[in-house]
C-alpha cells in the first residue's frame, strides 16, 4: 500500500509539471488552433537559463530558496522573449496560410531552438548544485520530499492565477473572445495581434516555470529535454480536451499518474512480458486512444477533425 501511495505521489508531481506545460499548448491552440511544436523547447530553455543563473549564484551565501527564485525570475523573461519572437517570426506571417504551413515551421523552430541551445550550453547536461537541503516528510507509509511539495503547490498556485486571469480580467475576456471568433473580436475593438502575442508570452512564462520545476526535481537539465516532455504534455492537453484550461490540468495530472502506475505495475500485471521499458509508450497510447475514440477529450467540446 505504501508503494502504491508512493507511486501516486510520484505521478502527482510529474503530472503537475505536465499540467503546467499542457496549459501552454492548450492556450495557444485555443486561440489560433495551432499545435506549437516548439513549446517543449521553451521548457528546456527555461530550465537551462535558470540552471546557469543558479549555478553562478551557488557560491554566494544567499539563501537557497532565493537563489532558485532568482533563477526563475531570470528564466521567465528569456522564455517570454523567445515565445514572442517565435510567434512574430514563424507563425504570424502564416496565419492565413493553409494549416500545414505553420505546423511545418513549428517543427523547424523546434529543431533550431534545440540546436541553438546546444551551441550555447554544449551537449553536456547541467547539474543542479546541491544547495537545497533534502528533506522528506512521511505520509501514510510513503515519503514526500520538500521539492515535490513545492512543485505541487507552485503548479496549483499558477493554475489558480491563470484561471483568474482568463475568467476575471479584461485581458482574459479579450483572449476568450478572440478564441471564439477572431473576426468579430477584432470588430469589437480587440487588438487581435496583441492578444495572440500575449497568449504566447503567458504560455512561455508557464513553460519557464515548468522547466525550473522539472530540472530541480531531477537535478539535471540538457538541450534535448524539451521534446519528449512537450510531446507528453501535448498528449495531456488532448486527453483533457484541447483548448480547455481545466482539461489541460486534469489531463496533465492523470497522465502523470498513468505513467507512474504503468511503469510501476505493468511488469507485475503482464508477468513481465511488458515492463518499464514501455513507459514512454503510455503517453502516446493515451493520445492515440483519445483522438480515435473521444477526440473532444475528457472535458472538451471541440471536435478533433477541424481542419
Partner 1 sequence: MQGTRFSLAIFAAVAALTLAGCGEEKKPEPAVAAAPPPPPPLVVKLGHVGPLTGGIAHLGKDNENGARLAVDEANAKGLTLGGKKVKLELVTEDDQADPKVGTTVAQKLVDAKVVGVIGHLNSGVSIPASAIYNQAAIPMISGSSTNPQLTEQGFKNVFRVVGRDDQQGPAIASYLASEVKPKTVAVIDDATAYGEGLANEVEKTLKAAGIKVLPREKGTDKTTDFMAILTKLKGKKPNAVFYGGMDATGGPLLKQARELGIKAVFAFGDGACTDKMKELAGDAAEGLLCSQAGLPVQAANKKFLDAYKAKFNVEPILYAPFTYDAANLIIAAMKKADSPDPAKYLPELAKISYEGASGKIEFDDKGDRKDAEMTIFTMKGGKIEPIAIIKSGKTIKFEDFLKTAEAAAPAAPAPEAPKAAAEPVKAAEPAKK
Partner 2 sequence: MNIFAKILTKARSKWVGVALIALALIALPFALAAAGTAWVRIANLAILFAFLALGLNIVVGFAGLLDLGYIAFYGVGAYVYALLASPHFNLHLPFWVILPIGALVACVFGVLLGAPTLKLRGDYLAIVTLGFGEIVRIFLNNLSRPFNLTNGPQGISRIDPFSFGAFDFSRNETIAGLAFSGPIKYYYLLLALLLLAIVVNLRLQHSRIGRAWEAIREDEIAARAMGINTTRIKLLAFAMGASFGGVAGGMFAAIQGFISPESFVLVESVMVLSMVVLGGMGNVWGVVLGAVLLTFVPELLRDWVQPVQQSLFGKTIIEPEVIRMLLFGLALVLMMLFRPAGLLPSAIRKRELTKQK
List residues binding partner 2 (CB under 8 A). 33-35, 89-90, 93-94, 96-105, 107-112, 114-116, 118-119, 227, 231, 234-235, 238, 272-273, 277-278, 280-281, 283-285, 287-288, 291-292, 295, 304-307
- Tell the smallest beta-carbon distance from residue 245 to partner 1 (Å): 25
Q: Which of 125, 172, 295, 304 binds partner 1 (CB under 8 A)?
A: 125
Residues 201, 83 contacting (CB under 8 angstroms): yes
Verify binding: residue 259, partner 1, rule CB under 8 A: yes
CA distances from 260 to 155, 264, 283 (A): 19, 6, 11
Q: How far is the CB of 234 from partner 2 (least distance, A)?
A: 7
The reply to whether 119 sits near partner 1 by the rule CB under 8 A is: no
218 binds partner 1, rule: CB under 8 A:
yes
Tell me whether residue 132 or residue 299 sits nearer to partner 2 (CB atom).
299
Task: Report, in Å, the least distance between residue 231 CB and partner 1.
Answer: 12
| Nearer to partner 1 among residue 182 and residue 224 (C-beta) | 224
Q: Which is nearer to partner 2, 5 or 103 (CB)?
A: 103
- Residue of the chain from 60, 63, 119, 134 that contacts partner 1 (CB under 8 A): 134
CA distance 291 to 227: 20
Could you give the CA distance from residue 296 to residue 305 in angstroms, rounded to a whole number? 10
CA distance 68 to 90: 32
Closest CA to 54 of 78, 76, 73, 70: 70
Nearest by Cα to 247 from 29, 7, 8: 29
Shortest spacing between CB 63 and partner 1, in angstroms? 19
CA 67 to chain CA centroid, Å, is 22
Among 167-175, 177-185, 196-204, 221-229, which window interacts with partner 1 (CB under 8 A)? 221-229
On whether the CB atoms of residues 225 and 44 are closer than 8 A, the answer is yes
DSSP class of 189: T
* CA angle, 50 then 221 then 108, to 5°: 95
> Per-residue b/e over 134-166, b at no fewer than 16 CB within 10 Å?
eeeeeeeebebbebbebbbebbeebbeebeeeb
Q: Which of 99, 275, 281, 285 binds partner 1 (CB under 8 A)?
A: 275
- Residue number with CB closer to partner 1 (1 or 303): 1
Q: Which does 267 bind (CB under 5 to 8 A by kind): partner 1, partner 2, none?
A: partner 1
3-state secondary structure of 135: coil
Q: Which does 77 bind (CB under 5 to 8 A by kind): partner 1, partner 2, none?
A: none
Distance spanning both ends of the chain, measured CA to CA: 47
Q: Which residues bind partner 1 (CB under 8 A)?
A: 3, 6-7, 10-11, 13-14, 123, 125, 127, 130, 134, 136, 143, 145, 218-220, 222, 224-225, 228, 259-265, 267, 272, 275-277, 279-280
Amino acid at each position: 500500500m505504501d508503494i502504491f501511495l508512493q507511486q501516486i505521489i510520484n505521478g502527482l508531481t510529474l503530472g503537475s509539471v505536465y499540467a503546467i506545460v499542457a496549459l501552454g499548448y492548450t492556450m495557444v491552440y485555443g486561440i489560433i488552433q495551432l499545435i506549437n511544436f516548439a513549446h517543449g523547447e521553451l521548457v528546456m530553455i527555461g530550465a537551462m537559463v535558470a540552471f546557469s543563473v543558479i549555478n553562478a549564484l551557488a557560491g554566494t551565501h544567499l539563501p537557497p530558496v532565493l537563489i532558485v527564485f532568482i533563477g526563475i525570475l531570470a528564466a521567465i523573461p528569456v522564455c517570454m522573449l523567445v515565445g514572442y519572437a517565435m510567434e512574430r517570426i514563424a507563425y504570424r506571417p502564416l496565419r492565413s496560410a493553409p494549416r500545414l504551413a505553420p505546423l511545418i515551421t513549428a517543427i523547424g523552430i523546434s529543431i533550431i531552438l534545440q540546436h541553438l541551445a546546444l551551441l550555447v550550453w554544449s551537449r553536456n547536461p547541467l547539474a543542479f548544485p546541491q544547495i537545497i537541503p533534502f528533506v522528506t516528510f512521511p505520509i501514510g507509509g510513503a515519503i514526500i520530499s520538500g521539492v515535490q511539495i513545492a512543485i505541487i503547490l507552485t503548479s496549483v498556485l499558477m493554475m489558480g492565477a491563470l484561471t483568474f486571469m482568463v475568467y476575471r480580467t479584461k485581458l482574459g475576456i479579450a483572449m476568450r473572445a478572440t478564441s471564439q471568433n477572431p473576426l468579430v473580436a477584432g470588430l469589437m475593438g480587440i487588438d487581435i495581434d496583441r492578444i495572440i502575442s500575449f497568449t504566447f508570452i503567458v504560455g512561455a512564462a508557464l513553460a519557464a516555470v515548468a522547466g525550473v520545476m522539472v530540472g530541480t526535481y531531477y537535478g539535471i537539465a540538457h538541450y534535448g529535454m524539451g521534446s519528449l516532455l512537450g510531446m507528453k504534455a501535448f498528449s495531456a492537453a488532448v486527453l483533457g480536451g484541447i483548448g480547455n484550461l481545466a482539461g489541460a490540468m486534469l489531463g496533465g495530472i492523470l497522465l502523470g499518474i498513468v505513467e507512474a502506475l504503468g511503469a510501476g505495475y505493468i511488469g507485475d500485471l503482464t508477468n513481465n512480458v511488458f515492463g518499464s521499458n514501455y513507459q514512454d509508450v503510455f503517453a502516446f497510447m493515451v493520445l492515440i486512444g483519445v483522438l480515435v475514440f473521444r477526440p473532444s477529450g475528457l472535458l472538451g467540446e471541440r471536435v478533433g477533425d477541424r481542419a
